[in-house]
Amino acid sequence: MDGKVDLGERVEAAALSKDMVGQSVTVAGWLQDTRNLGGIAFLLLRDRSGIVQVTCLKKKLGDETFAKMTGIPRESVVAITGELKSNDQVSSGFEILPTSYALIAESAAPLPIGVTDKVGVELDTRLNNRFMDLRKPQVLAIFKLRDILVRGMREYLVSQGFLEVTTSKIVAAGAEGGSTLFPIKYFEQQAYLAQSPQLYKQMLMGAGLDRIYELAPAYRAEQSDTVRHIAEFASLDIEMSFIKSEEDVMNILEGLMVHSLEAVLKEGKRYLEELGVEVAVPQTPFPRVTLAEAVGMLAKAGLEVKGDLDTEAEKKLGELMMAAHGAEMYFITKFPVEIKKNTFYAMHDSADPSLTNYFDLDYRGEELVSGGQREHRINVLISQMEAIGYDPKDFEFYLQAFRYGMPPHGGFGLGIERVLHMMLRLPNIRECVLFPRDMYRVVP
């Protein structure tokens, strides 16, 4: 009986149907658990789509085969062929009575971490054994939802006429200053890992592409060891031309968030239930408060803020916005030039030059997005560079695009992991990354 299984005929657990009852089917996956009651044993076989019960009868299989099948270590890879039966007492509604099996890869014992065990395991231990941790349905559900979220974002952007692009992640200069850049040796030159595709996005506006987006890794060498910071993350960046103001960019961002969260609710119900999480689609338009108004709200609540909002202030503002507007998502607008001083490409507000046409989108008290209207006039752009001590000669590759006709434009950068972190109410953003990178972790 051992070894007589054709994997070419394999059916995933979720694809088993009433039409197949009475037929011979082949399933394959990881042996999650075995419950041996003596004359009968129940094997739970797990694949990426779900779990199927295999019911082994000693009288039918014989003592030797029964002993072999029930003795397979947990998490071994096994293929089983047998007759599909209906069984209302099983969660899937089906069971398989095996006629042959193959032990494809036997698992070592003991397991480094349990897959179904209820015993809690520290996050560091889980990440050290990420390949095993990802076998847990609750962990896998996070990345199933990530896939749905990202597909929803792409669908929306394509529907709005955006073109997907890919820009270099090895750069000669940073878009936001050098303090958070990862330096690398690039042949005989000094180079850096890209914090953002910001400069390239703007150059593409000068090329006439008008509406572009990129989903790619970004890198920030921040000395932050918190539950909301990672050194490598997935950034969705968009840029769009011929805008009237930052409001055009904010409107696209609103549509993007609504469409992608609708997709999560429509296609990810099963995974949300696995995690025990409810997700709401925000109403549009999202509330808008200037930074000055936000600081005033916080002051009335007893929290004094000087300069930009820190983590405590962001969380408190999230509570206040929910109480005042019933809003989980909201814009903070009109950031002062002093706060955005390293963002030399930010357009200053024509009505008040001490402010910028820049905004953040926050979700439940955490920043998801930073963006705004860019400065497209080269003389003003150079002046803003020089005002903060940058040498325009270091950015000549970028400034060239502005010398030959640059339309008014704007855009934003959105952290995918930040969205997941807040949407799923996870305790640590590292839960949202397959193999996270932070101040201390470079393996696995």
Tell me, yes or no, if 370 is annotated catalytic: yes
Of the three residues 58, 87, 105, the one that is the final residue of a domain is: 105
Same domain, yes or no, for 375 and 235?
yes
Largest CA distance in the chain: 87
Which tokens sit at 398? 């970028």
Q: What stretch of H or E contains 361? A: strand 358-363
Same domain, yes or no, for 185 and 325?
yes
Residues 6+ apart with CB under 8 A from 270: none
- Per the structure, the complete domain to which residue 286 belongs is given by 132-432
Same domain, yes or no, for 172 and 67?
no
For residue 57, what are the β-bridge partners?
A: 40
Same domain, yes or no, for 355 and 422?
yes
Tell me, yes or no, if 46 is annotated catalytic: no
Q: What stretch of H or E contains 67? A: helix 63-70
122 within a domain of the structure (yes/no)? no
Of the three residues 88, 105, 122, the one that is the final residue of a domain is: 105
Instruction: Give me the DSSP letters along 241-277.
Output: ES-SSHHHHHHHHHHHHHHHHHHHHHH-HHHHHHHT-
Instruction: Give me the DSSP letters along 317-338.
Output: HHHHHHHHH--SEEEEE--BTT
Same domain, yes or no, for 162 and 101?
no
Q: What is the pLDDT of residue 6?
A: 86
- Can you tell me whether residue 8 is helix, strand or coil? helix
How far is it, in rounded angstroms, from Cα 64 to Cα 21? 28
- The residue type at 423: M
Look at residues 419, 381, 380 and name the one whose alpha carbon lies nearest to residue 199.
381
Same domain, yes or no, for 83 and 188?
no
Q: What is the pLDDT of residue 341?
A: 86
Which tokens sit at 106? 């036997």
In the set 370, 374, 376, 417, the catalytic residue is: 370
442 within a domain of the structure (yes/no)? no
Torsion of CA 377, 382, 387, 390, to 10 degrees: 140
Same domain, yes or no, for 213 and 339?
yes
Same domain, yes or no, for 209 and 90?
no
Tell me, yes or no, if 425 is annotated catalytic: no
How far is it, in rounded angstroms, from Cα 24 to Cα 11? 11
Residue 158 near residue 259, CB atoms below 8 Å: no
Q: How many domains does the chain have?
A: 2
What sign does the dihedral 243-246-250-256 (CA atoms) show? positive
Tell me, yes or no, if 222 is annotated catalytic: yes
Same domain, yes or no, for 308 and 348?
yes
For residue 129, what are the β-bridge partners?
A: none
CA distances from 301 to 120, 315, 426 (A): 38, 12, 27
In the set 10, 228, 288, 441, the catalytic residue is: 228
91 within a domain of the structure (yes/no)? yes
Same domain, yes or no, for 101 and 172?
no
Residue 209 near residue 163, CB atoms below 8 Å: yes
Same domain, yes or no, for 309 and 216?
yes
Of the three residues 105, 120, 154, the one that is the final residue of a domain is: 105
How far is it, in rounded angstroms, from Cα 38 to Cα 16? 28
Phi/psi at 234 (nearest 5 deg)? Answer: -90, 125
CATH of residue 35's domain is 2.40.50.140
301 within a domain of the structure (yes/no)? yes
In the set 211, 348, 418, 430, the catalytic residue is: 418
Tell me, yes or no, if 229 is annotated catalytic: yes
CATH of residue 407's domain is 3.30.930.10
For residue 186, what are the β-bridge partners?
A: 189
Residues 6+ apart with CB under 8 A from 330: 286, 287, 288, 289, 321, 361, 362
In the set 229, 259, 437, 441, the catalytic residue is: 229
Could you tell me how many residues make up the chain? 444
In the set 220, 348, 409, 430, the catalytic residue is: 220
Burial (0-12, 13-18, 19+ Cβ within 10 Å), 42: middle
Same domain, yes or no, for 241 and 356?
yes
Which tokens sit at 47? 């694949």
282 within a domain of the structure (yes/no)? yes
The pLDDT profile of the chain, 444 residues, written as one tens digit per residue, is 566 678 889 999 999 999 999 999 999 999 999 999 999 999 999 999 999 999 999 999 999 999 999 999 999 999 999 999 999 999 889 999 999 999 999 999 999 999 987 778 999 999 999 999 999 999 999 999 999 999 999 999 999 999 999 999 999 877 666 668 999 999 999 999 999 999 999 999 999 999 999 999 999 998 888 999 999 999 999 999 999 999 999 999 999 999 999 999 999 999 999 999 999 999 999 999 999 999 999 999 999 999 899 999 999 999 999 999 999 999 999 999 999 988 999 999 999 999 999 999 999 999 999 999 999 999 999 999 999 999 999 999 999 999 999 999 999 999 999 999 999 999 999 999 999 999 999 999
In the set 176, 247, 267, 367, the catalytic residue is: 367
Residues 6+ apart with CB under 8 A from 410: 239, 240, 243, 246, 248, 249, 347, 357, 371, 372, 373, 374
Look at residues 246, 72, 215 and name the one whose alpha carbon lies nearest to residue 146.
215
CB atoms within 10 A of CB 97: 16
443 within a domain of the structure (yes/no)? no
How far is it, in rounded angstroms, from Cα 211 to Cα 411? 9
36 within a domain of the structure (yes/no)? yes
444 within a domain of the structure (yes/no)? no
Residue 342 near residue 396, CB atoms below 8 Å: no
